[in-house]
Amino acid sequence: MRYPGSFVPGVLCVAAECWHHSSMHSWTLALALTSVALYIAAAVVLGRRLSTWRESQQEAAPKLSIIAFLAVALHGALLYALVVTGDGLSLGFFDVASLVAWVAALLLIIGALRRPLDNLGLLVLPLAALLILPSVIWPESRPIGVERNLGTEVHVLVSVLAFALLTIAACQSLLLAYQERRLSHKRPGGLMHILPPLKIQEELLFQLIALGFFLLTLSLATGVAFVADMLAQHLAHKTVLSVIAWLIFAVLLWGRWRHGWRGRTAVRLSLTGFIVLGLAYFGSKLVLEIFLQRHWFPG
């Protein structure tokens, strides 16, 4: 049986491409699973460290730092392979979620060197582990790459940093709410013995929110460059919700400065702002990409 001259080379090309994608998928899946295992191990070591005496904490610190650093390093390598493509930046729903979790974990590890942020690792590290696999398991969710240029990269970087910091702030709010509830009911047990004093917790919360608010302001300012047609680019809902979240955080910071807001008021407003911002970043993205098969930057 004879085949056209181009048939055999065509089959070989298709086979080579399939092998390449299969090999690439196996490599990224192995990297993802290793990162997940390391994040979970770091969370376990951290939990044991926080629940023991100071001597044991000092012994566990180097082990925790090494495991957490390896987890973040492998996660970063995985994201580079998935997000930076020949067609541009892959900014799909799962990619961005994993990217935000990675930046939050990285900022937490760096910040814990100077500030008492270790406790937040009990929330941030498992979250990072949870958000790694979806972008590897469902590669079909990945959109056409967004064209790479300095403006795009700066906007993406600032936006991810802002949301990552405010994610850490939301985790801090949850711990603060737990601490407030325990103290109001006069039940000092549970995690209370591993948490810093309430005043320090509140100071950390507002420092995180202030820095996140600053970056969110930069994100909105740099985002103006991409809004040629808000409706055509499917950015109307994202922009409106982002501005609402910005206003909520602005009111919270003003209330803290002017009236000394703290406690439940600070927790409620910070979590409300984070939820609204989450809807802006991921709610609109989920509806567009998963349900409507559209993207913020149509090609």
Domain assignments of the chain as residue spans, ordered by start:
16-142, 149-299
- Cα–Cα distance measured from residue 182 to residue 140, given in angstroms and rounded to the nearest whole number: 45
Tell me which DSSP letter residue 119 carries.
G
End-to-end CA gap in the chain: 44
According to the model, what pLDDT value does residue 147 have? 59
- Cα–Cα distance measured from residue 178 to residue 205, given in angstroms and rounded to the nearest whole number: 14
Contact (CB, 8 A) for 248 and 213: no
- Cα–Cα distance measured from residue 11 to residue 275, given in angstroms and rounded to the nearest whole number: 50
Predicted model pTM: 0.80
According to the model, what pLDDT value does residue 71 have? 95
Show the low-confidence residues of the chain (pLDDT under 50).
Answer: 1-23, 54-60, 229, 231-232, 296, 298-299
According to the model, what pLDDT value does residue 186 have? 66
According to the model, what pLDDT value does residue 299 have? 38
Contact (CB, 8 A) for 284 and 238: yes
According to the model, what pLDDT value does residue 103 have? 94
> How many Cβ atoms sit within 10 Å of the Cβ of residue 157?
16
Q: Three-class SS string for 19-74?
A: HHHHHHHHHHHHHHHHHHHHHHHHHHHHHHHHCCCHHHHHHHHHHHHHHHHHHHHH
According to the model, what pLDDT value does residue 163 have? 92
Reduce the DSSP state of residue 85 to 3 states and report it.
strand
Q: Is the dihedral of CA 200, 63, 35, 159 positive or negative?
A: positive
Reduce the DSSP state of residue 170 to 3 states and report it.
helix
Where residue 181 falls (left for φ over 0; alpha for ψ -120 to 50; beta otherwise) is alpha
According to the model, what pLDDT value does residue 125 have? 94
Task: Pick the closest to residue 62 from 46, 78, 73, 77 (CA basis).
Answer: 46
> How many Cβ atoms sit within 10 Å of the Cβ of residue 227?
12
Tell me which DSSP letter residue 145 carries.
P
